[in-house]
């Protein structure tokens, strides 16, 4: 069998691709760490917003029914996370949020380094759509927040 | 009833096994995770779809930077497709939750649709003939591909050479990706099962580039996570064990891929998909009262 020599020259990778990859690497690690460390504390029973023993009883219900039974509130935005950052399960969600916006940050980094104007515009359009979709949800959250449901008591 | 810790622990082991199977089969984690977890575990389909989406996006985020640096994941193709998929995946995620919440039988409808989609994936996988190095001539290139100069190159060890490639049928592929984004968002799946055939067979890029660029495209589904999060459909006690399981499993799977025959695993995955699809449809139909109870544990 002939010995493989490897590529005869360097592979060309766009600058926008390299910038995209670098930012994605950094924020993925940050997101996973921010998600896992508070989750370990949560599983250890430290500062729980949703007690594990309660979640256990209702996790077969739809998401809306679950929250009504567990907290007496219907979840309609990000308030359940940001209002309870002292609770480990909510704090763990910050890591998921970082993972969610990592592609956005990567697209912006790629657009900044794009050598071609069309690709810069395409990546910026994708980034703007990304931001718009997150904002729409945030506006819904501000309008709704954690709505109290009659007849249920928040723990 | 099992203690609370049983199911998170189960999710870890379950996703570890999926993580081992995924790299050798070419099927993304989400497409196995969502249907199987829906059938096996007691969790609501809302939580499973939320976790499936986070899992698919995280595993893509972890592998994409390496693939870009190797020239396998193509940022030019991504830039053309992402503006369409970002929007349609969010709409799909919203529709999925709306169906579940707006109708009393919504979750059963979702289960039937999920079963149908999984069976569709099953048939696509059986029928699709992947081409390792498709050739796209200058005449076959579409005008969009020419205007945007969509091309790339990577080192192929099997050929011991640098492979250059370009694309064809780009406008048709954009429309197809819009539909894929909607379906992936709606069911909380990664879209690798559909991305790869479109990139490879419709656009004419090499199979390795198609697989890697598919992972890059999956990251564009990330905004749909927000929809599940704002509805409280992402719970750490399901998501975190799943993420850890698939991450560790994928590393083991990469090693296993060197010693196991991928053909065997592919048929194993096909069998799993078929069973999961049929079970989801049966569970959905019996939950809706269309058929008499056959399977236990409908919830």
pLDDT tens digits, chain A, 155 residues: what are they? 445 566 677 888 999 999 999 999 999 999 999 999 999 999 999 999 999 888 989 999 988 899 999 988 888 888 899 999 999 999 999 999 999 999 999 999 999 999 889 999 999 999 998 888 777 655 554 454 444 433 343 33
ipTM of model:
0.86
Which two three-digit tokens encode residue A111? 């657009």
Of A7, A39, A52, the CB nearest to B240: A39
Alpha-carbon gap, residue B86 to B212, rounded angstroms? 18
Q: Helices (H) and strands (E) in chain B — how many of each?
A: 12, 2
Closest CA to B187 of B229, B230, B221: B221
Strand partners of residue B104: none
Measured between beta carbons, the chain B residues lying within 8 angstroms of A66 are 44, 46-47, 232
Closest CA to B212 of B196, B230, B197, B225: B196
The tens digit of pLDDT for each residue in B25-40 reads 656 667 678 778 888 8
Q: Report chain A's C-alpha Rg in angstroms.
A: 22
Residue extents of the structural domains in chain B: 7-287
Alpha-carbon gap, residue B231 to A74, rounded angstroms? 8
pTM greater than the 0.90 cutoff: no
Size of interface A-B (CB pairs under 8 A): 210
Which two three-digit tokens encode residue B229? 């999060």
Q: List the single residue in B with minimal CA-CA distance to A116.
A: B148
Beta-carbon separation of A126 and B236 below 8 A: no
Average confidence (pLDDT) over B83-94: 81
Beta pairing class for A73-75 and B151-156: unpaired
Chosen from A49, A117, A133, A139 to mutate, greatest number of chain B CBs within 10 A: A133
Alpha-carbon gap, residue A112 to B231, rounded angstroms? 34
DSSP H/E element including B156: strand B151-156
Task: Please give the backbone phi and psi of residue B57, each rounded to the nearest 5 degrees, phi first.
Answer: -65, -45
Average confidence (pLDDT) over B58-77: 89
Closest CA to B191 of B207, B206, B176, B172: B176
CB B189 within 8 A of CB B214: no
């Amino acid at each position: 069998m002939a010995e493989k020599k490897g590529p005869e020259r360097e592979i060309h990778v766009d600058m926008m691709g390299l910038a995209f990859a670098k930012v994605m690497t950094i924020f993925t690690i940050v997101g996973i760490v921010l998600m896992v460390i508070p989750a370990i504390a949560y599983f250890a029973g430290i500062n729980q917003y949703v007690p594990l023993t309660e979640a256990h009883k209702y996790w077969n219900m739809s998401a809306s029914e679950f929250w009504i039974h567990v907290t007496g509130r219907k979840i309609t935005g990000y308030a359940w996370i940001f209002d309870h950052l002292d609770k480990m399960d909510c704090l763990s969600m910050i890591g998921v949020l970082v993972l969610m916006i990592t592609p956005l940050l990567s697209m912006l980094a790629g657009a900044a380094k794009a050598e071609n104007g069309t690709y810069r515009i395409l990546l910026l359009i994708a980034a703007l759509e990304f931001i718009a979709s997150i904002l729409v949800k945030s506006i819904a959250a501000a309008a709704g927040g954690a709505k109290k449901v009659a007849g249920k008591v928040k723990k | 009833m099992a203690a609370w810790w049983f199911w998170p622990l189960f999710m870890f082991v379950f996703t570890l096994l999926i993580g081992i199977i995924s790299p050798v089969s070419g099927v993304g984690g989400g497409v196995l995770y969502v249907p199987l977890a829906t059938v096996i575990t007691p969790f609501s389909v809302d939580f499973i779809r939320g976790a499936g989406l986070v899992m698919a996006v995280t595993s893509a985020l972890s592998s994409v930077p390496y693939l870009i640096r190797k020239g396998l994941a193509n940022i030019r193709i991504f830039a053309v497709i992402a503006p369409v998929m970002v929007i349609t995946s969010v709409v799909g995620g919203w529709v999925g939750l709306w169906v579940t919440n707006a109708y009393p039988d919504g979750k059963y409808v979702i289960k039937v649709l999920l079963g149908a989609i999984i069976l569709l994936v099953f048939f696509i996988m059986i029928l699709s003939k992947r081409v390792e190095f498709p050739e796209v001539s200058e005449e076959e290139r579409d005008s969009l591909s020419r205007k945007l100069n969509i091309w790339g190159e990577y080192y192929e060890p099997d050929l011991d050479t640098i492979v250059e490639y370009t694309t064809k049928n780009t406008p048709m592929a954009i429309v197809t990706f819009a539909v894929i984004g909607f379906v992936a968002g709606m069911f909380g799946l990664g879209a690798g099962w559909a991305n790869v055939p479109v990139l490879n067979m419709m656009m004419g890029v090499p199979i390795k580039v198609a697989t890697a660029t598919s992972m890059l495209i999956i990251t564009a589904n990330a905004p749909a996570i927000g929809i599940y999060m704002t509805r409280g459909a992402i719970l750490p006690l399901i998501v975190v064990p799943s993420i850890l399981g698939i991450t560790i499993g994928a590393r083991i799977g990469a090693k296993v891929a060197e010693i196991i025959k991928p053909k065997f695993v592919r048929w194993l995955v096909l069998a799993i998909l078929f069973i999961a699809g049929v079970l989801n449809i049966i569970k959905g139909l019996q939950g809706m009262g269309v058929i008499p109870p056959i399977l236990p544990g409908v919830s």
